[in-house]
Amino acid sequence: MHDSLLLLIRHFITLTPAEEDLIRQWFVPETLPKGAFFLRPGEVSRKVGFVLQGLFHNFQSRDGQELTYYFGREQEFIGDYSSFLPARPAVRGIQALEEAHLLTITHDNLQQLYREIREGERFGRLIAETLFVDVLDQLTSFYEDTPAQRYARFVRIYPDLQQRIPQYYIASYVGVKPQSLSRIRGRAAG
């Protein structure tokens, strides 16, 4: 169950067998049914998850509409660090779009990982740097790209998701209404 998580961690740092055992201890299995929340808006985030199977969307409701910020899928971490790190209520929510199987780690155990795993802090920094660049790229795209360019970016980043999620989530991520997404998709295919 922990093999894919350990493989990902080993991509960033080296681990001893004893450190692998600690990681197996700190990351606990969790299953969420489709539609369940990993984090509700207004709650304080108490854990970070590694998705083994399933799909999530990170969203915010504004003026009665859901705005999707990113999708979390297999072999990726999900969480809301702006809530998790300072222990303040989350502005955004994270919801399962499919039944999901995860490995989760609490804030306290993550701090322990940073202290007790020889290269734990380095791993945390490298993951944070990767997330930071992804967020900046997405933000830049939202301000500088046309909806058609944002859709092309979505297809490039998430080539497997078009068949897994309803189109209104993709439209929300791209920043358009579902009808506009249909036109953009039609032009992209033609």
pLDDT digits (tens, 9 = 90+) for 30-44: 999 999 999 999 999
Contacts of 124 (CB under 8 A, 6+ apart): 110, 113, 114
Structure tokens given for 1: 């169950």
Structure tokens given for 143: 């301000």
Cite the DSSP H helix spans in 13-96.
17-26, 81-84
The domain spans of the chain are: 3-118
pLDDT digits (tens, 9 = 90+) for 52-62: 999 999 999 88
- The CATH label, of 3.40.1400.10, 3.30.300.90, 2.60.120.10, 1.10.260.40, for the domain at 3-118 is 2.60.120.10
pLDDT at 66 over 90: no
pLDDT digits (tens, 9 = 90+) for 128-151: 898 888 888 888 988 899 888 999
* Cβ neighbours around 85 below 10 Å, total: 13
Confidence (pLDDT) at 25: 97
Asked if residue 75 lies in contact with residue 51, where contact means CB atoms within 8 angstroms, the answer is yes
Asked if residue 142 lies in contact with residue 175, where contact means CB atoms within 8 angstroms, the answer is yes
Strands 100-106, 28-32: pairing kind: antiparallel
Confidence (pLDDT) at 13: 96
